[in-house]
Structure 1
Amino acid sequence: MSEAPQPATTAHRPSSARVLPALVLAMLAFSVVQTAVVPILPSLARELDVSGSSITWLMTANLLSAAVLTPMLGRFGDLRGRKPMLLVALGGLVAGSAIAVGTHSFTWLVIARVLQGAGGGVLPLAISIVRDELPKAKVTGGVAAISASMGVGSGLGLVVTGLLLEHWSYKSIFWMGLGFGLLAVLLVALRVPTDPVVDKAGGADPLGAVTLAGWLSALLVAVSQGNTWGWTSNRTLGLFAVAAVIALVWVAVEARVAHPLVDMKMMARPAVAFTNLSGLLMGFGMYGSFMVISNFAQTPEKLAHYGFTATVLHAGVMLLPSALGSMAAAPIGALLIARRGPRLPLVLGGVLGGASMVYLALRHGSEIDFYLASAVFGLGVGLAYAAMPAYINGAVPAEQSGIANGMNAVLRTVGGAIGTAVMAAILTGDTMKLPIPVSLPTLTAYEHAYWTAAVMCLIAGLVPFGIRRIKADAAESTTPGALDGAGTAAAVGEPATTGA
């Protein structure tokens, strides 16, 4: 069995004021870089002289890389130390940004986006570092700040992209990523302490890593390209079948090896399984709604009789309240988790996200409607993302914290890929006839998209009621020391008798 790490004394732990800003900046650097290219994909297609279907590989490659590398970096952090792996993750982001700055080749730009995807490992590694290094009283707030900053960075990335494009070329987006990444590397190197290996008895699982990469790759390529290839095409259906087969092989491998990359028993615990389902649904809602709102805002009003003829910057500003809402959610979420456990903020997150999308489905004639809905949605996403690591950390030992939070991050990414694909299918499936060769979705198509996002968020808010006893779940397979490292089960979990 793995040795439980000995809790460090409070006197030897670094202050949250020293460590937390470095970790939050690292998370912001990745989330900004990941979403910043979304509004400029059409202009990049023209700039690089590639088709509209080909340019989407800049998002597909990044999502795929993040999905594959996030759990691996999280697990290697458990085995080799969290700080070294965090620097590796940020190193990939910096290297990818540097290549993107220096190239005019579409192929090299795709490679750059693959390297940037390594930044996905920041989330589980940063959460594990907070759990290991900060004083117990600061853990819940620190984890909430890091997790909520994913929503903050995603919203800010859209705004900053528009602002940069008002004055400079698309290269400025990658210069921004390079600067963010270098600053994050510097702060992490100087402020984050070198951590001990928490799973000294663990080992590598190369076959588990290969099969995980295999089924995630097949699934994400099929989802991302389904609208281009056709959802019933041989390529799309074939990749879905390949993903299913390799996923079954992966589960069988992980159930048999002595030191699995992902412990299937851990994944099956209600607190982990239901939290991951909620992460998938909220990822669907967040990425899908960002795309729909941005497209709606940029629709020329004279042609479609809806939309606001917004520039990329204007559309990004309309999503800025979501970033502010996520920022406000971090301290609110931490307070709710400390007092009531993670169920309430996770339920509220889903309800607020769903309510904001219902509002847009019914009212979308004024920019004020979008500013209001965006703020409420950001608050919901921030609350939900703050609660998820609290559920997971309360249910797994410290030596599995990295991989457990890594898999949750993967499912958010998968949900985002599915959400953008489904939203694109809804919008392209119902277009209006215009006297010019331009295809625009009908207003009804947008309303259907908002309703779809609302349903996904509301279901995410219901999911936590399937978690009955996080405290009992944690006690079955963790040591008291591991629970203390999470901030104690009582602090982050539900009372033992709650639920059905």
Structure 2
Amino acid sequence: MKRTQDAGTPHEEPGRGRILPALVLTMLAFSMVQTAVVPILPSLATAVHVSSGTVAWLMTANLLAAAVFTPLLGRFGDLYGRKAMLLVSLGGLALGSVLAVSTDSFDWLVVARVLQGAGGGVLPLAISVVRNQLPPRKVPGGIAAVSAAMGIGSALGLVVTGLLMEQWSYKSVFWAGLLLSLVAIAWSVVGIPKDAVSDQTVKVDPLGALTLAAWLCALLLAVSQGNAWGWGSGRIVGLFVAAVVIAAVWVVIELKVRHPLVSIRMLVSPVVAITNVAGAVIGFGMYGCFMVISNFAQTPGKAAHYGFGADVLHAGVMLLPSAVGSMTAAPVGARLIAARGPRIPLSLGGLLAAVAMGFLAVVNGHPVDIYLASAVFGFGVGLAYTAMPAAINSAVPMEQSGVANGMNAVFRTVGGAVGTAVLGATLASDTIEGLPLPTLGAYQEAFSITAIGCFAAAIASLAIRAPLSPVNSGKPAVQRASR
């Protein structure tokens, strides 16, 4: 196959130093916008006159859209240019923010959150840009910085929301997202060079894209609404059945078409498959951790005999150490990957996250306990997020980098949706008599479930057999990954 500059080795050129800051900013923009609404959902429900169950659609719609857009934009970036698709992804984020600040309608807010979900494409695209544009010696550190920015932005989004809500209304949160999106677009236009395309003859797989979107929507809708609609209800069971059937059809399509949207053989290769399983479990832990810790911190201690009665800002600040932990983990993870490959930091990250949640299951009576656990958890997640793209890139050729990392992001999103649903059901299943509050035992169970899941990810990661140097060589994935 004829290859262009896209698969070549990048050289040091003037302006290359602007690429990584631009990509980190894009990751911060998306992750902050995605999580910023979590603490203000009760305020939004009151402002737009809907129930607490209905307002949750603002998160559900965003997760659904992100899950669909992420692999699609990642693949389109492989085919038509990563910078172009990165700007499309950021454009959706900005357009959704414009709509959110200009409406008071709940229905239009849902549409806005769908548009913001297009920002999910920045993760695989940013990783592909790093792999394609930076010199090989800088690729591990670049991927580490971009990946860690996801966890950093998720935690910062909660803090920024608290700060804004102290002074202004919920609209200020969407205004902040719009400003950040526009800055990210401007910096990306200036700082990221246009990339060449690997193979102009490869065409889009529309049927594969349609069926992928369909089964992901069915699965995530079932998981997200299971607690509200009832796990045994006809709607939920029907959605799960539809997800399985459509996913099976999707696999058949992708195995038969000449240029599949997602290579099933790539997806089931050992390195990629194990990394995706680990990604789902780490996503379960991260999203679930943020929800459980935030709720725990805001519980009035006098009424429940646990919790700290924190407001939205204070609860967000309690999660700030996780952002610091993720930031610290990035360079550490890059060094470990360069020296030992991605397996060790991925397994160690899962183990540290498990230790943090296991600690909170036993010790949770003082705010310092939350700060400490948050920092350790953030460091662990940061290591894992740094290692996953490195493992994926060690097992796939350049022309599949975007879609492969996009599917890994999808597995994280699915894991996060499952984690939110499972831990939410855990808290709702055991409440204090006469109060709409979970018992302390319910929180301890939720922390324990998260710890067990993260520990399972750590153990599974030990089975990864990737090359010590995950920097791409352009060689076929299976040859390099099975060494």
TM-score (norm 2): 0.97
- Which residue matches 2:444? 447
**SS across alignment from 2:326:** helix
Q: Deviations over 1:122-164 (max 9, x none)?
A: 0000000000000111000000100111000000001111110
Aligned pair in 2 of structure 1 residues 158, 11: CA closer, same or farther (>3 Å)?
A: closer
- Which residue matches 1:318? 318
- Which residue matches 2:8? 7
Give the 5 Å matches for 1:405-484.
Answer: 405-434=405-434, 438-468=435-465, 470-471=466-467, 481-483=473-475
Aligned pair in 2 of structure 1 residues 121, 9: CA closer, same or farther (>3 Å)?
A: closer
Give ranges in structure 2 of 5+ residues lacking alignment. Answer: none
Give the 5 Å matches for 1:84-483.
Answer: 84-434=84-434, 438-468=435-465, 470-471=466-467, 481-483=473-475
Output the CA distance in 1 between the equivalents of 2:257 and 2:143. 31
- Which residue matches 2:62? 62
Q: Is the 8 A contact 1:255 1:263 kept in 2?
A: yes
Q: Deviations over 1:70-110 (max 9, x none)?
A: 00000000110000000000000000000000100000000
User: How many angstroms does 1:467 deviate by?
Assistant: 2.1
Output the CA distance in 2 between the equivalents of 1:333 and 1:227. 37
Q: Once superposed, what is the RMSD of the aligned Cα atoms?
A: 1.9
Output the CA distance in 2 between the equivalents of 1:183 and 1:103. 22
User: How many angstroms does 1:199 deviate by?
Assistant: 3.1
Aligned pair in 2 of structure 1 residues 211, 420: CA closer, same or farther (>3 Å)?
A: same
Q: Is the 8 A contact 1:394 1:483 kept in 2?
A: no
- Which residue matches 2:36? 36
Output the CA distance in 1 between the equivalents of 2:80 and 2:28. 24
Output the CA distance in 2 between the equivalents of 1:445 and 1:223. 20
User: How many angstroms does 1:302 deviate by?
Assistant: 1.2
Q: Is the 8 A contact 1:136 1:484 kept in 2?
A: no
Q: Return the letter of the residue paired with 1:37.
A: V
Output the CA distance in 2 between the equivalents of 1:287 and 1:167. 27
Aligned pair in 2 of structure 1 residues 399, 313: CA closer, same or farther (>3 Å)?
A: same
**SS across alignment from 1:103:** coil
Output the CA distance in 2 between the equivalents of 1:472 and 1:251. 31
Q: Return the letter of the residue paired with 1:7.
A: G
Give ranges in structure 1 of 5+ residues lacking alignment. Answer: none
Q: Is the 8 A contact 1:13 1:135 kept in 2?
A: no
Aligned pair in 2 of structure 1 residues 163, 473: CA closer, same or farther (>3 Å)?
A: closer
Q: Return the letter of the residue paired with 1:242.
A: A
Q: Deviations over 1:312-348 (max 9, x none)?
A: 0000000000000001011010011011111110011
Output the CA distance in 2 between the equivalents of 1:262 and 1:83. 20
Aligned pair in 2 of structure 1 residues 293, 377: CA closer, same or farther (>3 Å)?
A: same
Percent identical residues = 62
User: How many angstroms does 1:215 deviate by?
Assistant: 0.5
Q: Is the 8 A contact 1:14 1:134 kept in 2?
A: no
Aligned pair in 2 of structure 1 residues 345, 127: CA closer, same or farther (>3 Å)?
A: same
Aligned pair in 2 of structure 1 residues 170, 300: CA closer, same or farther (>3 Å)?
A: same
Aligned pair in 2 of structure 1 residues 404, 163: CA closer, same or farther (>3 Å)?
A: same
Q: Is the 8 A contact 2:356 2:376 kept in 1?
A: yes
Q: Return the letter of the residue paired with 1:305.
A: H
Output the CA distance in 1 between the equivalents of 2:39 and 2:166. 13
Q: Return the letter of the residue paired with 2:408.
A: N
Q: Return the letter of the residue paired with 2:352.
A: L
Output the CA distance in 1 between the equivalents of 2:233 and 2:61. 21
Aligned pair in 2 of structure 1 residues 2, 362: CA closer, same or farther (>3 Å)?
A: farther
Q: Is the 8 A contact 1:24 1:149 kept in 2?
A: yes
Q: Is the 8 A contact 1:395 1:473 kept in 2?
A: no
Aligned pair in 2 of structure 1 residues 484, 272: CA closer, same or farther (>3 Å)?
A: closer
Q: Is the 8 A contact 1:14 1:133 kept in 2?
A: no
Aligned pair in 2 of structure 1 residues 394, 317: CA closer, same or farther (>3 Å)?
A: same
TM-score (norm 1): 0.93
Output the CA distance in 2 between the equivalents of 1:354 and 1:413. 19
User: How many angstroms does 1:36 deviate by?
Assistant: 0.4
User: How many angstroms does 1:201 deviate by?
Assistant: 3.0
Output the CA distance in 2 between the equivalents of 1:49 and 1:228. 18
Output the CA distance in 2 between the equivalents of 1:385 and 1:2. 33
Output the CA distance in 2 between the equivalents of 1:330 and 1:225. 35
Q: Is the 8 A contact 1:2 1:201 kept in 2?
A: no
Which stretches of structure 1, 4 residues or longer, exceed 6 Å deviation after superposition? none
